[in-house]
Chains A and B, each alone.
Chain A
Amino acid sequence: MTMPFYVSPEQLMKDRADYARKGIARGRSVVVLGFEGGIAFVAENPSRALHKVSEIYDRLAFAAVGKYNEFENLRVAGVRYADLRGYSYDRIDVTARGLANAYAQTLGTVFTQESKPYEVEIAVAEVGTDADGDQIYRLTYDGSVADEHGFVAMGGASDPITEGLKQRWRPGMTLADALRLAVELLAQDAAGGPSRVLTPAQLEVAVLDRGRPRRKFRRISGPLLDRLLSSEDPTTGVPREDEQTSGRHDTLSQGRHGQHAPTADPEGPEQPGPAQQ
Chain B
Amino acid sequence: MSLGSGRGPAGAGLPAPFMASGTSSFTEFLGSHAPELLPSGRPLPPGGALEAPHGTTIVTLTFDGGVVMAGDRRATMGNLIANRDMQKVFGADDYSAVGIAGTAGLAIELVKLFQVELEHYEKIEGTLLSLEGKANRLATMIRSNLGMAMQGLAVVPLFAGFDLEGDLGRIFSYDVTGGCYEEHDHHSVGSGSLFARGALKKLWRPGLDATAAIRVAVEALYDAADDDSATGGPDLGRRIWPTLAAVDAQGLRFVPDDQLADVVEQIVSHRRDNPGGAR
Residues of chain A touching chain B, judged by Cβ–Cβ distance below 8 Å, are: 49, 51, 54-56, 73, 76-77, 79-81, 83-88, 102-109, 242, 244-249
Measured CA separation A109–B37 after assembly (Å) = 27
Residues of A within 8 A of B175 (CB): none
Contact between B250 and A244 (Cβ–Cβ < 8 Å)?
yes
Q: Nearest Cβ distance between residue A248 and chain B, in whole angstroms?
A: 5
- Shortest Cβ distance from A99 into B: residue: B14
**Which of A105, A107, A248 has the largest number of chain B CB atoms within 10 A?**
A248
> Does any Cβ of A come within 8 Å of B278's Cβ?
no
- Interface size on B, as a range, is 35 or more
> If the complex has contacts A87-B37, A247-B164, A248-B127, are A105 and B18 also in contact, measured as CB distance less than 8 A?
no
Residues of B within 8 A of A242 (CB): 251
Contact between A81 and B116 (Cβ–Cβ < 8 Å)?
no
Contact between B26 and A83 (Cβ–Cβ < 8 Å)?
yes
Residues of A within 8 A of B84 (CB): none
> Does any Cβ of A come within 8 Å of B52's Cβ?
no
> Does any Cβ of A come within 8 Å of B254's Cβ?
no
> Does any Cβ of A come within 8 Å of B21's Cβ?
yes
Contact between A76 and B124 (Cβ–Cβ < 8 Å)?
yes
Residues of B within 8 A of A55 (CB): 123
Measured CA separation A248–B12 after assembly (Å) = 36
**Which of B1, B18, B251 has the largest number of chain A CB atoms within 10 A?**
B18
Residues of B within 8 A of A246 (CB): 162, 164, 167, 249-250
Q: Nearest Cβ distance between residue B183 and chain A, in whole angstroms?
A: 22
Q: Nearest Cβ distance between residue B188 and chain A, in whole angstroms?
A: 27
CB within 8 Å of A: which of B7-61? 9, 11-14, 17-19, 21, 26, 29-30, 33-34, 37
Q: For B19, give its contact among A54, A77, A86, A104 (CB under 8 Å).
A: A77
- Shortest Cβ distance from A82 into B: residue: B123
Contact between B3 and A51 (Cβ–Cβ < 8 Å)?
no
Measured CA separation A117–B30 after assembly (Å) = 28
CB within 8 Å of A: which of B234-271? 249-251
**Could you list 23 A-B pairs, sorted by A, with CB under 8 Å?**
A55-B123, A56-B123, A73-B21, A79-B123, A80-B18, A80-B26, A80-B120, A81-B3, A81-B18, A84-B34, A84-B37, A85-B1, A87-B37, A87-B113, A87-B116, A102-B13, A105-B4, A105-B12, A106-B12, A109-B12, A245-B250, A246-B249, A248-B128
Q: Nearest Cβ distance between residue B112 and chain A, in whole angstroms?
A: 7
Contact between B116 and A86 (Cβ–Cβ < 8 Å)?
yes
> Does any Cβ of A come within 8 Å of B126's Cβ?
yes
Residues of A within 8 A of B223 (CB): none
- Shortest Cβ distance from A110 into B: residue: B13
> If the complex has contacts A76-B21, A81-B14, A83-B120, are A51 and B126 also in contact, measured as CB distance less than 8 A?
yes
Q: For B126, give its contact among A49, A56, A81, A107 (CB under 8 Å).
A: A49
Contact between A109 and B13 (Cβ–Cβ < 8 Å)?
yes
Q: Nearest Cβ distance between residue B269 and chain A, in whole angstroms?
A: 34
